Structure 1
């Protein structure tokens, strides 16, 4: 059988291939690079990133404002703000128990010194009242020497002055627990402080300080002083003991 012979392809040498590809490449015209489009896309990506960063920062700044809550007042129709405040600072140390303030009633222990003002102190013992003042010796009034009749209500008064400030004090005695001391003076009415010992001793000490204008200061030869009356009240508002002084 006779076979049909196929035409043989010409053999191309490697050098010929390179030349053929080079000629074909010269006939291809490359398209222009879209530089403007690339730049616009880059700018859009930058804007998106900047907006995301600013949004996160604003969220952090606005977070503390969340403690302010606005609520609608249904009754008035007006909005009112409710602010969350931090806890109040802890209070400072309490005053020393040796300091008593005007207008109070305190139970003290025997010998416990109470500061009335700088340099002036007063204290109680089972036998009476003691007090000291600047540049003066310690003084004492007894409740056991018979000078006071503790079987009936009564109030004693002692006065001393320095410049225009007067220290007023005394012993009161009567049935009941003291709740308030009212002192009437030439400078007006003031509240006194009462000191008592624990239990029911049947007596206590009152004191007060008052500033007296020069025009109302008693003279050295006057038979009257700064105190006009002292009244000690009990918890029910009744008079435990009182004393009117000559005016």
Structure 2
């Protein structure tokens, strides 16, 4: 009886092994049949940016600020980017206005209008903080960022959209100081930008332009012009869909 039981146990073990193998094969076939799409990088970045904005707001007592380290993020927000030709403008020609470039001290928040401020960071290059209210704590938290975030003769860009407010912002890195910077949306709406730079000849600065909030779902083009009217740098930023 014990030998029969041992034989039965061995047979049962073999049956379980065969069943386990068949089950494993079936599970692998099912897994292989499931379509695998690209990693949800954009979604992860958006959620990460949202979490960072919430943490910044808590740290600064309800003040929302954006640290623009565009090699890691393009901000800005705000930020899926496309390197595609800008669509043709449909707005009528406008008189070109020179860009107001102000020299500011490092880490010093500079009021830029509508309750917002911007500060430039001397650590590395093309790093800045922009946000509403008092951004001093956010500036302190951003100290130490290093590295070049955009290539030579180029622009970065992002935007802040809050109800009726739309603020385009970014950095420029050009051999010549731009005489004019302009933001143009897909529908042709144009906004002249103002700019900040650090003392000396750092070779870069940050720009900002308030626009029409009704164009917040459109892509936009940023163009930096030289004193002779030639284009120093231009970049198109695609519309960002979703929160």
TM-score of the pair, normalised by structure 2: 0.48
The structure in which a higher percent of residues are strand is 1
Q: RCO higher in 1 or 2 (8 Å CA, sep ≥ 6)?
A: 2
The structure in which a higher percent of residues are helix is 2
TM-score of the pair, normalised by structure 1: 0.47
* Higher Cα radius of gyration: 1
